[in-house]
Amino acid sequence: MSKEEIRKVQLEMFRRQIKHAYDNVPFYRKKFDDAGIKPGDIKTLEDVAKVPFTVKDDLRDHYPYGIIAVPIEQVNRMHASSGTTGIPTVVTYTKKDLDTWSNLMARCYSCAGVEPKDIVQNAYGYGLFTGGLGFHMGAERLGTMIIPTATGNTKRQIRMMKDMKSTVLCCTPSYALYLIEALKEENVDPSELSIRIGMFGAEPWSDETRKHIEKSLHIRAQDLYGMSELYGPGVAVECPEQNGLHIWADEFLVETIDPDTGEVLLPGEKGEIVFTMLSREAMPLLRYRTKDLAVINWEKCACGRSHPRIMRIKGRSDDMLIVGGVNVFPSQIEDILVGIEELGEQFQIILETTKLDNLHVQVEVSPHFWGKVDLKELAGKVSTRLQESLTLRARIELLEPGTIPRTQGKAKRVIDNRKKI
């Protein structure tokens, strides 16, 4: 389909979805009434900008069941996001929604190069988190064999990989980094394994980290994006070109906005990504603000797909650190650290309150270099690189390999001690 054909389908679906939301969810009806619009007012895709945004707090304010558009008997499943701060965000699915989600995830696998003959080892967490079951259902739908190892028990994870000859590994990039170390400890040479593709997502990771994972595990490492509110994983995925993540445009209408003014930006301009789910029954989401910052690219991809692409997510608007007046994302610091050969992959950014905001970066030295380099000199080099590229002044602390706590799920890169005071 051409972009124009896709846009036509999206408009039809959008109009149906906004009516579904207006007719069945008092929250949306009130929101539209307050804004003085009716579903019938949306006649073109430009009119979409008239529809009010939905934000995470709207879901929290209507905890637990407030945004449901179907009778509760028709809800087949719920998930909830980790809810590290306060009320969890509950998401609900009808049978049809689960079916759509499975298809989207199956498409993601296939787009990334996974085939029905593959053996998929799924090390994402099963439970309220959408990762485990999302990757599980998609693999079942595609018809692969699936090994639901879930997170944890790394020794068993490695054993399964070896004995079952798993060919696809699904987990967070942080866990993939941890597995690389664990394989070394267990004296397993990655070339003994059969893994050929990694499906890594749920958190930002840099191209340098990708290179490291690909080289260490002898695999192709594919990026996949999603969030609980948008079914879970399966919103967008890389094709083997690894040049942006294809967003499934027959399910997600994507816009980029200026996070401060809410103004719609042109494709190619960096901003906050906003999604509308085009067929969700149980919990319609209209113009949902993700807080993720990226660029959308509508140019046809070399793979032939015309689904638009999110050029890699670099961070979230709420992740941005302001240190001594400089705006910086943890991923920018990561890019620089990973590019320094003598350093390992594990780092932490600690923010302290002093007279000026003080940035403290702890980073492990690579095991190959530990004991062989002059630490003071290396710290000086790291500090200079951060200063040159990001104009950041940081206190660098080099640590012995293995010191920073490893994670099975998403990494916690930033420790902000400023708020506690």
Instruction: Identify the residue among 69, 177, 239, 273 touching Zn ion (CB under 5 A).
Output: 239
Do residues 91 and 80 lie in contact, with contact meaning Cβ atoms separated by under 8 Å?
A: yes
Instruction: Identify the residue among 204, 244, 330, 344 touching ligand ADP (CB under 6 A).
Output: 204
The SS3 of residue 95 is helix
Q: Which does 81 bind (CB under 5 to 8 A by kind): Zn ion, ligand ADP, none?
A: ligand ADP
Strands 321-323 and 145-147: unpaired
Instruction: Identify the residue among 132, 201, 308, 344 touching ligand ADP (CB under 6 A).
Output: 201
Q: Quick one: tokens of 123?
A: 């090390």
Is 81 a binder of ligand ADP (CB under 6 A)?
yes
Is 290 a binder of ligand ADP (CB under 6 A)?
yes
Instruction: Identify the residue among 42, 108, 112, 202 touching ligand ADP (CB under 6 A).
Output: 202
Q: Which does 292 bind (CB under 5 to 8 A by kind): Zn ion, ligand ADP, none?
A: ligand ADP
For ligand ADP, give the closer residue by CB, 39 or 271. 271
For ligand ADP, give the closer residue by CB, 32 or 101. 101
Alpha helices in 197-327, H assignment, sequence order: 207-217
How many other CB atoms sit within 10 Å of the CB of residue 362? 17
What is residue 215's DSSP assignment?
H
What DSSP line would sit under 256-287, residue for residue?
EE-TTT-PBPPTTS-EEEEEEESS-SSS---S
Is 224 a binder of ligand ADP (CB under 6 A)?
yes
Q: Which stretch binds ligand ADP (CB under 6 A): 101-109, 223-231, 280-288, 399-407?
A: 223-231
Q: Give just the sign of the alpha carbon dihedral 9, 15, 18, 23.
A: negative
Is 105 a binder of ligand ADP (CB under 6 A)?
no
Strands 145-147 and 119-122: parallel
Q: Which stretch binds Zn ion (CB under 5 A): 15-23, 299-307, 317-325, 331-339?
A: 299-307
Q: Give just the sign of the alpha carbon dihedral 418, 328, 308, 301.
A: negative
Q: For residue 396, what are the β-bridge partners? A: 361
Do residues 238 and 309 lie in contact, with contact meaning Cβ atoms separated by under 8 Å?
A: no
Residue window 39-78: x/- pattern of binding to ligand ADP, with contact defined by CB under 6 A = ----------------------------------------
Q: Which does 234 bind (CB under 5 to 8 A by kind): Zn ion, ligand ADP, none?
A: none
What DSSP line would sit under 99-165, residue for residue?
HHHHHHHHHHHHHHT--TT-EEEE-SPPSSSHHHHHHHHHHHHHT-EEE---S--HHHHHHHHHHTT
Q: Which does 225 bind (CB under 5 to 8 A by kind): Zn ion, ligand ADP, none?
A: ligand ADP
Rounded least distance, CB 225 to ligand ADP, Å: 4
Is 147 a binder of ligand ADP (CB under 6 A)?
no
Is 172 a binder of ligand ADP (CB under 6 A)?
no
Is 176 a binder of Zn ion (CB under 5 A)?
no
Residues forming the site for ligand ADP (CB under 6 A): 81-82, 201-204, 223-228, 290, 292, 313, 316
Residues forming the site for Zn ion (CB under 5 A): 239, 241, 301, 303, 305
